Structure 1
Amino acid sequence: MSNVAIKYSNTLPSAPEARLGLGFTLPTQMPPFPLLDGPKGLLTARNEQDLGYRILLGQLDRVRALAVDTGIVSAMVKEIWDAMGEKDNVDKAVALIYHEGAWLRVGTLPEGDYSDKKVRKAAKAIADEEFATLVRRKLNGIQTLISELRGYATEGMDGTLFSSAVRDELRQKLSEILPYDYILNRAVDQFRANCKELTSRTRDLIKFICEEVRIPKVKAEGIISGNWTSPKLIPALLISGGYELKLFPPAAMKNLRLGITQRQKAILEAASTGEAPAAEILAAWSVFMRVDRDIEKCADIFTKANVRLVEQQVGRFRFSDSQIVRSAANMGLTRAVYRFAPEMGFRFSTIAIQWIQVSINRDLVDQESIRLPEGMHKQLRLIKDKLQLNPNESIQSLAKATKLDEDLVRDLVHLVGSRTSIDSTFQESGSADTDGLHEMLADTNNDFMSEIEEESTRNFVNETLGQVLNEREIFVMMNRYGMGDSQEMTLAELAAIMSLSKERVRQIEMQAIGKIRDSAFAESLFEMWGDM
């Protein structure tokens, strides 16, 4: 194992030796596809591992294919730099790197006791720092090769053996780093868009051969085998086309040859628009498309084999729209497929459940379909007030002010952002991004509402909101959010006062917000409240 990226010093003496986690090797041969017992067959641990490795190998092939377009590679490298920043935030920048004969996964730590959060945090900080150092070295090497290739292009040497050797080296460098899935997917989508014309013309060639020679698409692709512009394509068809092709009359054979030649020329023209030689672009595109289909097939197998897991998690959210929950769950399952780490030995369901739950919760929060835990409204209000005063307030500062765990504060900050965006219907031209329904809520950090007399405040609420809401909805809104002179109450407190269940109170609250948002008086309500 590598001796690089090892630090023996630590500010916490009790922390174990912090270094990059143990590396692993990828299979030298592509693992086979599993044979499922029916459309909903279950995968064994070995099946999941094989599929996971197929996806990893396919993603690395994708990265290598991008070497023919330095523009895409340069943009991808920049995204990785930006994601890491100055604080070595490698978690959302790179997934794997290859170093001294082994693959290293971001976030892995050596074996040890990490029950103490401070110990784990210190060990992870050191491991991330060393991992980031290796990533920077690789990115610097990639950027150097990109500069060389662009220099050859400027000097008119982009089609020479020198540039070809540099591009091979770039392809090798790219095969030693696997970007974070979001970053890689953006680069892949851009490459797919750039090759749209090439894709269209190759499909036209396959369609022409299938219709003229009357062979299936799979067989036609096998005969071509990536040699789209090869003059040997027609002899290969004569050998593999079957007895019908041998019976073609001379005129029909001439039309076949002419049709294939014309389409090959069109393919060559489409491939010649890139910066790399047409042959290299065609080879990279062929590998890319083959791998693309393979990865999609692996993801489809994972998805079909885990239908029961999705339904199990959907059943936990009976209070919400099942279609919304199921859609979010499927998105979480898809994300888990590309985040699965087969080398760790865990079952796929371990990571899938986490991503499904996160996806469902975030989707429901964005749609105002889930409520905060009891007692969290006070902390949420405090976080909202601090972010209004200083939008760049750090998570550490917010955690200290609320006396909550930093992970919980991050979740609450996400909720603050979601609620502000949902209230966007209350904004008007020229308003700030923070303007919205929360401007109608009591601010515990100032005495604005205390300056308004109780009677006039209630009259304002009744006369304005009364045109949109009924009395029960007004009562819930005033007491739920501390509007007017009312004190903010929890769902449990309101349920006890109104002799209703907490779920029923929550439904009334959501119904009232929807009425305000959709009413014709939304803008006037905002203006009237702001003038008080």
Structure 2
Amino acid sequence: MADRTGLADLWSRAAGRGYVLLSEIHDLHDPLEDPATWPDEIATIARDAGLEVVDDLTDDVPPPPSSLLTSTTDGVRQYLNAIGRVALLTAEEEVDLAKRYHAGVAAKQALAADPGMSTAMRAQLRRLTVDGARAQERLVTANLRLVVSVARRYLGRGLSLLELVQEGNLGLMRGVEKFDHTKGYKFSTYATWWIRQALTRGTANKARAVRLPVHVHELVAKVRRTEFELLQVLGREATDAEVADDLGLTIERLRELRLAGREITSLDRSIGEDSDATLGDLVADEDAEDPERIATDGMARREVVLALEGLHERERGVLEMRYGLLGEEPRTLEEIGALYGVTRERIRQIEKKTLAKLRHPSHAHRLRGFAGE
């Protein structure tokens, strides 16, 4: 038992904070392999080690609170109201329904295996099949509130409450199929495991535009849970080193998981129910040029061209090449001198003389407004 994968990590995490959640123990519980008493045995070991066992699970799930109803759509509200009126089952009723369900499954298999059976036997098996389907439906509908209770813990992971409930219902139905009443489990405890499995995989597969592997999705959730726990213990946000140390990860791996956990949002998403505006309308394009800068540069370029028109051809050519005024790379004095067949010093003199001309009021008034650009 002590060698179970994940149990050592749970003990290490619990030792650092002084408590363990009952839900964490149940997450490690495999109903197909472990006895029904496994979670209780682990909880006892935790208490004997001086750890507080915090029961964050409830055996009888109450109707969804009004705060949950008011934050959902009308369709979801109607669904929650409907399942809230379904009576819960006793342990004896769960066992009886499970027996009837499995009897129906066996009857259906028998019908398929022997097409030549008597009419009376076929009619009896059909009655058992129908009764088994009704028993399955009763087991499912009586535990839909359990699905909502578990699904609420997965909100904020990319799926709406209705989508989470749909995923959880698939897990519930799988739990009904696999439930073995002879092992002494309470059905709600057994079904919770299957519901969580379905929700974990559902959020991993459907909550993101880019799908994450299930094990990565679980690690991302583990990082967020650890950050929250450290915030409560330390009274401040934990550093990357503290979070990585608590999880047994490198800081580089921690940052990779945070990056993987970022949500992707469509730029076409509407930003209001009564507005045609989209998120893309509010997001600036960092690579786009500033329209004001484009307009100013265009005006400055035109004024420079007009100012240069009053110069001699060589003077204009020297400045255009020296400062890249035609959109080319600026050239050195030596390069310009070679083109005109004169020395570097002569080009420097022409440049100095021409700039002095441009400073004359007859030219300077055109460029004065762009001096700071």
Q: TM-score, normalization: structure 2?
A: 0.35
Larger radius of gyration: 2
Q: TM-score, normalization: structure 1?
A: 0.25
